[in-house]
Structure 1
Amino acid sequence: MKRINYFLALSLGLSVLTSCDSFLDVEPKASISDEQTIFDKASAETALRGVYNAVANSSYYGTTFQSIGYLSGDNIQWTGSQSQIQEFINHRVNAENSTISGAWIAIYATINRANQVIAKVPAVTDPTLTDALKNPIVGEAYFLRALAYFDLARTWGGVPLITQPTSSPSENSGIKRSTQAETYAQVLKDLDAAEPLLAETVNRYHATRKTVWALKSRYYLYQKDWAKAEEYATKVISDITNYKLLTPYSAFFANNVRGTQESVFEIFYNGTSEINDHRGQWQPQTNGGTRQWAPNDVFVALVNDPLVGGNRSALAAKDNQSRWYGNLYYRSPGSDPSYVIRIAELYLIRAEARAQLAKLTDAAADVNAIRTRAGLAATSASSKDDLLLAVENERRIEFALEPHRWFDLVRTGRAATVLGITDPNRYLMPIPSVQLQIDKALEQNPGY
């Protein structure tokens, strides 16, 4: 990543930008002193907002990164003319792909902002910034850095681990990639650091200890630590007062609702200074969008099958030309939330973990919680293999327009069978070519 784009990350983290990228009221410089950036309670809180704004950026959870997860699966078709999008659907992504480059830069910008908070807030001596206020600021920054490294690890494998603030354009040049295992280890280290700093409260837009538990559950699922995945999923699911599956399926997104009991962590957009660009890609021209990606025929058949999709058919709708379009993001202007973690995911994580642990009755119960909410009959799956396939099938429909399908098929070893990808090198995305040109210490993933 380095000279140009670590400088970009510095500027994004330490200067005034437009819209949701506003951070600190200082001039962009190659080197900015701590006194000018984070020096009191107000600037510490502003800095933390800057980290959340980086996660919300259009190139991260605003659209670009998420699109890698669903375009690379088997639910979506591309209706436009940009060949780079078709590369994900064909599973032949090139290192020059601008989507890949944009997501990489945005995620590292998030990391740099989090690094600023983690490094500088503990040293602030403002008496109004008490430990009770300081700890959650730092804890939330650790959580967001963990999320960023998790997304890097599952998309590219091992990446450069940068855990100190960038203070000059060339400071991080020459840092080699860590392994994927080392990158995932950094995720857990950050989550462990975040957990004791955060309160066991509920906040659907900011990280709390419960948000950490949810991401830990996902982390352990990817690590195939089934017992831990089940344990942390249960911690969140057990809070039935604050987290529950809403009925029908569309209740967590329809009618302009946000921050429902379905949501563990979602990103807020106000539609004015903070815009979620998703709706423009999904909605048809009659609704002010471009419909440049849309549900494919196979998914349309599945989601409209009353025995498969049930009431999740609300995910797709027809325009005035009888063309199907995705309907998760629909608000104009773009004020739809981006859903990072929903309680449905925790149920299906626990179902998969329990199936792997041979807790078959309990696994079926979790699958049935999802199916009941969708208006479906109980699953007929009873063996371990059948239950694992049932979980896979439910995840396909449940999160069709969210960034899970591709990563699910890769982590379970099912990408070859389901997607027909014969080259396992294609299970990771290429390191963006511009990054390789900037920093010779970076090495490309095999096969690219």
Structure 2
Amino acid sequence: MFKYILKYKLLLLIAAVSVLNYGCSKDFLDVPVQGQATADSDPDVADKLVTGVYASLHASSAFGGIGDINGISMIAATTIITDDSDKGSTPGDQKGLKDMDDFDLTPTNNFVAALWTGYFNGIAKTNQALKALETAKLDEDLKLRYQAEVRFFRGYYYFNLVRWFGGVPKVLKVPLDAYEANNDPVYQTRATPDEIYALIIEDLTFAKENLLIKGVMPVGRVTKGTATAMLAKVYLTRKNWQEAYTLSQEVISSGSYSLLPDYSEIWRQVGDRSNEAIFEVQTGVYNNSDYGVPNYCVWQGPRVGGLQGWTDLGFGFNSPSQNLVNDYEAGDKRKESTIIFIDQSPQHVGTVLFDGFRIPSQDSVANPRYNYKAYHSENKEVESFLGNRDRKQKNIHLLRYADVILMAAEAANELGNSGESAMLINMIRQRAGLADIIASSQPSMRETVYHERRIELAMEHDRWFDLIRTGRAAQVMQAVKPNFIPGKNELLPIPSLQIALSGGKLTQNNGY
């Protein structure tokens, strides 16, 4: 029993002393290190370790294992939890998701626990890679680039953790042995949010200074622009408007990015690694394999219900809410590109998607709306699909150019320049087929920015973080989800198992 508890503690508190398998069950990512080639004797090992850090983005286990970074737990904690979405599926399916949707969260929620485990396992991979790179026999410029790539991910993972949980353990090293893992307080106590943000800024700044620009970095890798844009978002969250504005403008003026003319194409394969893409989870043809985030599409695909009799696309979770639908302006092209509307007509004409796939009417489908941005074509003549429905080749867009434009618009307004804010917002609205806005007072422009962020980035995993950082969570959420408790539900609970495994050293968030 003691060995079992120790093993679990090492895994969940990020104190593993054995070398991890830096991959997602793909042979080309397996990195056997102990007793074989190491980074200081074989440069290829260093590259594989860095590749393994990228592969950590594919973690999506909500029920144990390696945890969840971009699976249903992330979807729930960024979107289902907000006014943009309802749990979906059938009423009794996955109570833990319903509890998140309704703010009936407890510290034993498995989806919350999966986030903690997944992100800290991702951080463990970054620390293992950085340790190996210290002694790797590489060209110094290449070593700096590798370190910058890895530190970008560590900063990004901590950025999400601190926004979900507040202060968390600040783990920057690999423990020497089990004794250190179980006795060094760093693995079992929470740093303050300010300490975590200082680390995030340090890591992302290092990445910004040492990564190469888009077009010079290998395709699919994070770039100088990726780090700059993510750092701008961190400063926006911290309300450092000048830094947020300066960094956003640096990305805009770089000339490396632009808006795709057709909004709907961003989430199709034609939009992968496009001029609008800044940070994506790479999948499918990028790796020349049946390689994707397990079940990302399937969790959100339209689900059979009623009369059935058709090949459904998934489990039906994360259904866009009526509240979101109501917030679109008339004529906004983004609505039909964001939401799959199930046919409600008595003629049962169904809904035909962009690839020709027909979803039947409401009598055969569980929910009235689904996330179009999560749909991957079922037609292999339209988008490549190698047959594993659980690993569809769906790039997940975590940060794109439109977001940077809106960050610049928000920061400009907060700095007193509503005219520039309006100009930037109109770049977004023109693509959506909407009329330009006119600059107005700072409070009015602030609400305009908030609206445009909601609509432009709907179902893209930004809504929750935007509500929290702008202090609007209580006002917005209580109007649609009355269980929301101010001063409590802005943060997720620290998983109870983590507190137990720390011997009570990890403290719980308020109200849980």
So what's the TM-score if we normalise by structure 1?
0.91
Q: What SS does the corresponding residue of 1:328 show, helix, strand or coil? A: helix
Aligned to 2:375: 330
Q: Structure 1 residues 131, 433: CA separation in 2 closer, same or farther (over 3 Å shift)?
A: same
Q: Per-residue CA shift, 1:198-228, capped at 9, x if unaligned? A: 2233456312222111111001001100010
1:70-81 matches, cutoff 5 A = 70-80=79-89, 81=93
The equivalent residue for 2:224 is: 209
Name the SS for the 2:374 alignment partner.
coil
SS at match of 1:445: coil
Match of 2:153 in 1: 144
Distance 1:55 1:2 in 2: 26
Q: Distance in 2 between matches of 1:121 and 1:279?
A: 35
Cα 1:38–1:442 shift into 2, 3 Å: farther
SS in 2 for 1:266: strand
**How far off its partner does 1:395 sit?**
1.2
Aligned-pair distance for 1:254? 3.0
1:426 to partner: Cα distance = 1.1
| Match status 1:382 vs 2:440 | yes
Are residue 442 (structure 1) and residue 491 (structure 2) matched?
no
Equivalent in 127, 130, 153 of residue 118 of structure 1: 130
Give the equivalent residue in structure 1 for 2:488: 425
Larger helix fraction of residues: 1
Pick the aligned partner of 1:153 from 143, 146, 162.
162
Find out whether 1:279 has 2:297 as its counterpart: yes
State yes or no: 1:306 paired with 2:364: no
| Cα pair 1:26 1:37 within 8 Å, conserved | no
Tell whether 2:267 aligns with 1:253.
yes
Q: What amino acid is aligned across from residue 183 of structure 1 in structure 2?
A: I
AA in 2 matched with 1:277? N
- 2:402 equivalent to 1:344: yes
Aligned to 1:195: 208
For 2:307, the equivalent position in structure 1 comes to none
Pair member with larger Rg: 2
Return 82-91 or 201-210, whichever deviates more.
Answer: 201-210
- From 345, 360, 373, give the equivalent of 1:320: 360
- CA–CA separation in structure 1 for the residues paired with 2:326 and 2:442: 27
In 2, Cα distance between the equivalents of 1:345 and 1:64?
23
Query: 1:399 and 2:457 equivalent?
Result: yes
In structure 2, what is the equivalent of residue 95 of structure 1?
107
**8 Å CA contact 2:70, 2:296 repeated in 1:** no
Distance 2:107 2:18 in 1: 24
Letter in 1 for 2:300: W
> In structure 2, what residue type is equivalent to 1:321?
S
Letter of the 2:298 counterpart: G
Kindly state the Cα deviation for residue 170 of structure 1 after the two structures are TM-superposed.
5.6
Contact 1:160-1:177 within 8 A present in 2 as well: yes
Deviation string for 1:15-64 (max 9, x for gaps)? Answer: 3765359754338xxxx579656642111010001111112212102442
* C-alpha contact 2:39 2:132 (8 A) present in aligned 1: no
Change over 3 Å in CA distance of 1:344–1:17 after alignment to 2: closer
Distance 1:42 1:248, change over 3 A: same
Q: Gaps (5+ residues) in structure 2?
A: 61-67, 304-310, 343-358, 363-367, 379-388, 479-483
Distance in 2 separating the partners of 1:233 and 1:358 = 16
Counterparts of 1:9-88 in structure 2 under 5 Å? Answer: 10=16, 14-15=20-21, 18-19=24-25, 23-26=29-32, 36=38, 39-58=41-60, 59-80=68-89, 81-88=93-100
TM-score by length of 2: 0.80
SS for the counterpart of 1:365 is helix
Aligned residues of 1:93 and 1:430 also touching (Cα < 8 A): yes
Aligned residues: CA RMSD: 2.5
Q: Is the 8 A contact 2:278 2:401 kept in 1?
A: yes
Q: Residue 424 of structure 1: SS of its match in structure 2?
A: coil
**Against the structure 1 CA distance between its residues 65 and 21, is the aligned structure 2 distance closer, same or farther, given a 3 Å change threshold?**
farther
Q: CA deviation at 1:293?
A: 2.4
Whole-angstrom distance in 2 between the partners of 1:295 and 1:12? 43
Is the CA contact 1:13–1:109 (under 8 Å) kept in the aligned structure 2?
Answer: no
Structure 1: give runs of 5+ residues left out of the alignment: none
CA distance in 1, matches of 2:19, 2:270: 31
**Structure 1 stretch 156-165 or stretch 412-421: which is displaced more?**
412-421
CA contact (8 A) 2:17 2:174 kept: no
